[in-house]
Amino acid sequence: MSVIGTDRSAELAGSTPSTSEGAVSPSLRAVQRSVLAGLLTSYPYNSASQLHEYFGDGPLPSSYGGSCAWQSFQAGRSVAERSGVEAEYRIDGRHVAAVYRDADGITILDPYLMHCLPLRLERADAVDGDVSLTAGAYPFRARADGSPAPSSVRVRWRLGDDSVRLNYLRFSPRRGHRVFSRSFLMRPDRVLTAAPPAAERVRPQLLHPEQHSVSVRVLHPGTRRLAELVLPLAGRRLLISKDNQGAVARQGSREFDRDREVVADAIGVPAQDIEEALLKAAELHRVAAPAGLGLADYSLEDE
């Protein structure tokens, strides 16, 4: 997550909306749906990619994916290529969502939150000035009794100030209930003037104290199950993995090897190449980080 905000009034003075003045066309909705479906399995979350791009020898191959902001940039770029409609990139801190406004409502693409379908909110559905939506999202987990426990994204669009709240919830097998995983407030006065921003704005964000690990997270295109390789940046840098249930495995275990192969198979490269990319990214971070940068320990608990 690596972006810098700006005041929307300076950027959009005299500009046109991200979609036409009329209602959103069925063809645009189809494009947005197709783009999101493809990116969920072909452009994974990878916090190492931009460290390579901005501090190393260049970006990793596209199949390795990119940070959360770059996932939204890729979504917006793909929609524009296929429809001619440009996204508005709203930000909250270091997070970015691709937003499309039209006369009837608003559509949001945020692949990092892994919602299964575009987040479409209709103005006509407002209750007391708010439009609310709960959408299914990955990972699809299982409760102790085997019953399904999908993730979800809860959205609230406030018509009064045009802000959008995005809450991402996952089922926690350890706790036995859903928990808030991420929450973002996307305001209309916090948008990007360029996507991606200029390098001098990106680099400090890549070294933000919140960035306490480098990782790659995939949704396997065949099984639709999640797997993740994580390299914590604080302390001893030993790789761990997480499976679809959020269970942590340490390097050298059979569970780790299983998760690593899922990640490698989804990306289509040898597992060793992914590990080397994470290790190199961690080293790039170490060299570039300011002296005394405090990094929180990465939790090794099962989700």
Over the stretch 96-117, which tens digit does the pLDDT of each residue have? Answer: 999 999 999 999 999 999 999 9
Residue 273 lies in domain: 210-288
pLDDT of 60 above 50: yes
The first and second tokens of residue 281, run together, are: 């990214």
Query: Tens of pLDDT along 30-57?
Result: 999 999 999 999 999 999 999 999 999 9
Domain annotation covers residue 272: yes
Domain annotation covers residue 55: no
Q: What is the mean pLDDT of residues 153-173?
A: 99
Q: How confident is the model at residue 15 (pLDDT cuts 50, 70, 90)?
A: very low
Kindly report which listed range (12-16, 173-177, 299-303) carries the lowest average pLDDT score.
12-16
Total domains present in the chain: 1
Amino acid 10: pLDDT? 30
pLDDT of 4 above 80: no
In contact, 151 and 140? CB cutoff 8 Å = yes
Domain annotation covers residue 41: no
Q: Rounded to whole angstroms, how far apart are CA atoms 277 and 173? A: 30
Domain annotation covers residue 3: no
Instruction: Name beta bridge partners: 155.
Output: 133, 166
pLDDT of 5 above 60: no
Q: How confident is the model at residue 24 (pLDDT cuts 50, 70, 90)?
A: low
The candidate with the shortest Cα–Cα distance to 85, out of 11, 35, 153, is 35
Q: How confident is the model at residue 25 (pLDDT cuts 50, 70, 90)?
A: confident
**pLDDT, the chain, mean:** 93
pLDDT of 8 above 50: no
Domain annotation covers residue 277: yes
Domain annotation covers residue 263: yes
State percent of the chain over pLDDT 70: 92
